[in-house]
Amino acid sequence: MTTLGIVEQATGIEAVTALVEQRIVAGSDWELASIRRSFVRLEPPRFYWVVYRVRLQRHAAGNGGAVEGSTEQRVLHLAGRACFDPGDWRDFRQRLVATYGEARFDPLGDLGYPILFDQTQYALWCFPVDPTLTTLPAAIDVVAMRRLLRRQRSQLPVEGARIGGVAIEPVRYLPEMSATLRYRVEVGGSQQVDLFGSVRRGDAGAEMDRVMRGLWELSQRSDGALRVPRPLGYHPDLRLRLEEAVSGDTVSGDRTAPEFAAAALAAADALAVIHDSDLDAPSELLLEAELVRLDSVLDQFALTHPSAHPLLRQLLSHIRSQLGRTPEEEWVPTHGDCKYDQFVEHDGAFYLVDFEDAGAAETSWDLGKFCAHAVPSMPAGWEDTAAADDARRAFLERYRELRPHATLQRFPVYEATHLASRAMVAMWSQLRGWRDAAEVLLVVAMERLRSQAP
């Protein structure tokens, strides 16, 4: 059995820096400019994932059209998975060998196929290679994507114009889970259209495209209460779903910013429209499934944060007790992951994005999720907490005004559950300060569970 300490050392910044120096830039005219860890996910006692953002640079010599003395830069995303159990490593290793054979790790010249480290039970690869998201290399191939976009240019915002260059960059990469890509498309020689693409494991993209088309039609009838990106289709050969990019800025976590309070009202407006609709949801979001998932991480908390373990265990016991005494709510179409940072603000209008977790659920699922994420886990001061409470109160009052007959008797249960889920994610992230953040979230969860339903 490989320990967490061994894994952290094998995947730490020193080890990855040495690998970059020896396996990527050695013998080339590139040099390492910076490296930082951008993602960590721990699932003890089985797996550990990590992603590093690596920035390389080289100095142009004035040939090939480059200006002498200028600096060219390139960004790589190195990802890895470690297996704590030897049996898990054996299975994962066999799958990698069966998929990639003798393919080399060559992210500068070709692709960064997996490197296997048997002693530490760890594999590392370079995006777009991914053992589960196997269509990613094709989804970022410029020639293939230009050809695809030319076939569907009638659906782009600038119809009939010639498709020129296509620049592709990753926006978010969660190894073996999903990738979000930005496509900057040159149209008509002088305009640029931005699109987003999503590649997910499995075949969820086709169903999500159907959901987004229904949401788009709903938004067009909502008088601005609901704004969503326009879907542009699903391509099963790439497992790629496309949609128009929304111009604007994602709402930040600054609870004292005016945009945060405005986003709370926009969230109530958008959710009221969705909850009142007859959208055909792709799946059911069950509270019990969330509780079972939290049950499953109790042992993980015992290993990584012993003082938080009894807090979570007690919270789950009280949630189930209260749930058994509270009647079921109405089931409605649901965003599934409605948080402040799922809103993009542009000229005072708010667009709701990222419906990857959409489904049908009890009314309080979305409301509890939004309120749970309004809570600052590491507030800079009392002002942050007060502003978050004000936004939460305004959100619930606006929603009640729009849907006075909504059933919300289970709201405290849902808010407490989603706060506990945030603590779980903090544990998985292993980011600095995560222990304090997780403990704060669990304490607030118990307080909210005891509060009165809106």
Name the pLDDT band for 107 (thresholds 50, 70, 90).
very high
Q: Yes or no: say if 225 and 272 are a contact pair by the CB < 8 Å rule.
A: yes
Convert the pLDDT of each residue in 72-88 to its tens digit: 999 999 999 999 999 99
pLDDT in tens, 86-96: 999 999 999 99
pLDDT, the chain, mean = 92
Q: What is the CATH number that goes with domain 249-449?
A: 3.90.1200.10
What's the pLDDT tens digit per position in 236-252? Answer: 999 999 999 998 999 99
Q: Which three-class secondary structure state does DSSP give residue 111?
A: coil
pLDDT confidence band for 164 (50 / 70 / 90): confident
End-to-end CA distance of the chain: 49
Domain assignments of the chain as residue spans, ordered by start: 4-131, 139-244, 249-449
Looking at per-residue pLDDT, the higher value among 432 and 291 belongs to 291
pLDDT of residue 108: 95
Q: Which pLDDT does position 67 carry in this prediction?
A: 56
Residue 66 above 80 pLDDT? no
Instruction: Average the pLDDT over 214-232 and give the result.
Output: 96
Beta bridge partners of 56: 32, 74
The whole model's pTM is what?
0.85
Residue 163 has pLDDT above 90, yes or no: no
Checking if the pLDDT of 217 tops 80, the result is yes
Q: Is the pLDDT of residue 415 over 90?
A: yes
Which pLDDT band, with edges at 50, 70 and 90, does 109 fall under?
very high
* DSSP code at position 205: H
Task: Please report the pLDDT score of residue 396 as a whole number.
Answer: 98
335-179-301-116 Cα dihedral, nearest 10 degrees: 160
Helix spans in 246-359 (H): 258-275, 287-296, 298-304, 309-324
Pick from 183-187, 272-276, 278-282, 301-305 the range whose average pLDDT is largest: 272-276
Pick the CATH number of 139-244 from 3.30.70, 3.30.200, 1.20.120, 3.20.20: 3.30.200
